[in-house]
């Protein structure tokens, strides 16, 4: 059995001594790199946001929020979820998108968790039922300047052949044409350590789409984000659990979007890419603690393998010495956060 433990670190430096009535303790990360207790791969992300379209034919107008959404997603993944490899691509041409995906594919290792986020225009040819991402250098209705969904599937399948978990999040019109419908995940509020362990050990190739084969909104209530990305960020920011599965995330985002705008996000799997009903697991490294100033709160998620666990009277958990040896101040374990 594995344990995920949060540690309170009491900083004894002069800068954190109690002054003028202020008080509290700080949580300090031992390692900013996210890992599940069950799979030690790296977390990597390619985040694409296209606002400024340069279509000389005037078909593809510039967007308001895609670039801002991509920046916010990239920052959140890096700062709060411990993604160690995050590439942000803004206002990208067709060639730049393909090159970035290819570069990402070369970096992926066997146990890695890979996320690709795209925000920008999308297009569905209703005559051929072919879908596309529309890069900033697209020209009118010349679909040879678009990025076919079939090409995206091929690239994603290549990444998935190497990674353990792959998740595509597409915030564009007609993005639901990318996926094969399918549901998974526990009933709301029932996910536990055994569930996360089970789905983490199985390969996953999942997709979250802003809508099905439909148009989607750009700016939700002047928030600077599309409805889909607004609620995606909201769920990730407000998440209070150390672990969050992609099915839990997509379920909450779908409900929130559908309750507020005329748009229904979809989720599913990439057909033929080797999905084994696993789950992409988000590991939150920054959690709030009531009564402690936000700027003094960080979380250390420490994975303790079986062989390091010593259960004794009083439920004393072993490996305390090995953890405290790596910090300069006393370590106080807390059972829950």
The domains located in the chain, with CATH, are 3-32+308-333 (no CATH), 43-283 (3.40.50.1460)
**Looking at residues 35-42, what average pLDDT do you find?**
68
Q: Name the residue among 185, 229, 298 with its Cα closest to residue 71.
A: 229
117 neighbors 73 (Cβ within 8 angstroms): yes
Q: Name the residue among 336, 175, 331 with its Cα closest to residue 268.
A: 175
Residue 253 has a pLDDT of 96
278 neighbors 202 (Cβ within 8 angstroms): yes
Residue 201 has a pLDDT of 80
pTM recorded for the entire structure:
0.73
**Looking at residues 145-159, what average pLDDT do you find?**
94
Residue 28 has a pLDDT of 37
Which of residues 173 and 18 earns the better pLDDT score? 173
Residue 294 β-bridge partners: none
Residue 115 has a pLDDT of 98
Buried b (16+ CB within 10 A) or exposed e, 69-102: bbebbbebbbebbbbebbebbbbbbbebbbebbe
**Looking at residues 304-311, what average pLDDT do you find?**
44
Q: Name the residue among 181, 184, 41 with its Cα closest to residue 114.
A: 41
Count of Cβ atoms closer than 10 Å to residue 259 Cβ = 8
pLDDT of 327 over the 60 cut = no
pLDDT of 54 over the 60 cut = yes
What is d(CA 323, CA 67) in angstroms, rounded to the nearest whole number? 41
Confidence label for 155 from pLDDT (cuts 50, 70 and 90)? very high
**Looking at residues 196-210, what average pLDDT do you find?**
85
Residue 114: HSE in the Cβ half-sphere, 13 Å Cα cutoff: 28
In the 3-class helix/strand/coil scheme, how is 166-214 assigned residue by residue? EEEEEECCCHHHHCEECCCCCCCCCCCHHHHHHHHCCCEEEEEECCCCC
Residue 70 has a pLDDT of 97
92-115 pLDDT, tens digit per residue, is 999 999 999 999 999 999 999 999
Which of residues 142 and 262 earns the better pLDDT score? 142
What is d(CA 242, CA 85) in angstroms, rounded to the nearest whole number? 20
Q: Which phi and psi angles does 154 have, rounded to 5°?
A: -60, -45
Confidence label for 316 from pLDDT (cuts 50, 70 and 90)? very low
């Amino acid at each position: 059995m594995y344990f995920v433990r949060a540690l309170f670190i009491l900083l004894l430096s002069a800068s954190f001594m109690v002054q003028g009535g202020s008080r509290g303790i700080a949580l300090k990360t031992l390692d900013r790199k996210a890992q599940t207790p069950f799979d030690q791969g790296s977390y990597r992300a390619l985040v694409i946001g296209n606002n400024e379209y340069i279509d000389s034919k005037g078909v593809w107008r510039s967007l308001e929020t895609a670039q801002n959404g991509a920046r916010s997603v990239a920052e959140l993944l890096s700062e709060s979820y411990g993604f160690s490899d995050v590439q942000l691509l803004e206002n990208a041409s067709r060639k730049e998108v393909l090159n970035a995906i290819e570069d990402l594919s070369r970096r992926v290792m066997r146990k890695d968790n890979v996320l690709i986020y795209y925000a920008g225009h999308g297009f569905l040819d209703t005559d051929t039922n072919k879908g596309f991402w529309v890069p900033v250098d697209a020209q009118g209705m010349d679909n040879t300047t678009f990025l076919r969904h079939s090409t995206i599937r091929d690239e994603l399948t290549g990444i998935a052949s190497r990674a353990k978990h792959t998740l595509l999040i597409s915030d564009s019109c007609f993005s639901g044409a990318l996926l094969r419908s399918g549901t998974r995940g526990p009933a709301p509020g029932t996910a536990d350590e055994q569930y996360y362990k089970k789905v983490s050990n199985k390969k996953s190739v999942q997709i979250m789409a802003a809508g099905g084969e439909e148009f989607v909104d750009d700016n939700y209530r002047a928030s600077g984000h599309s409805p889909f990305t607004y609620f995606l960020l909201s769920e990730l920011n407000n998440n209070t659990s150390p672990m969050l599965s992609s099915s839990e995330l997509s379920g909450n985002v779908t409900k929130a979007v559908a309750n507020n705008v005329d748009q229904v996000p979809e989720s599913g799997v990439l057909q033929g890419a080797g999905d084994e009903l696993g789950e992409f697991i988000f590991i939150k490294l920054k959690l709030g603690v009531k009564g402690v100033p936000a700027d003094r709160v960080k979380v250390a998620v420490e994975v303790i393998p079986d062989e390091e666990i010593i259960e004794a009277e009083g439920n004393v958990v072993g490996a305390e010495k090995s953890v405290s040896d790596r910090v300069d101040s006393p370590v106080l374990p807390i059972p829950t956060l």
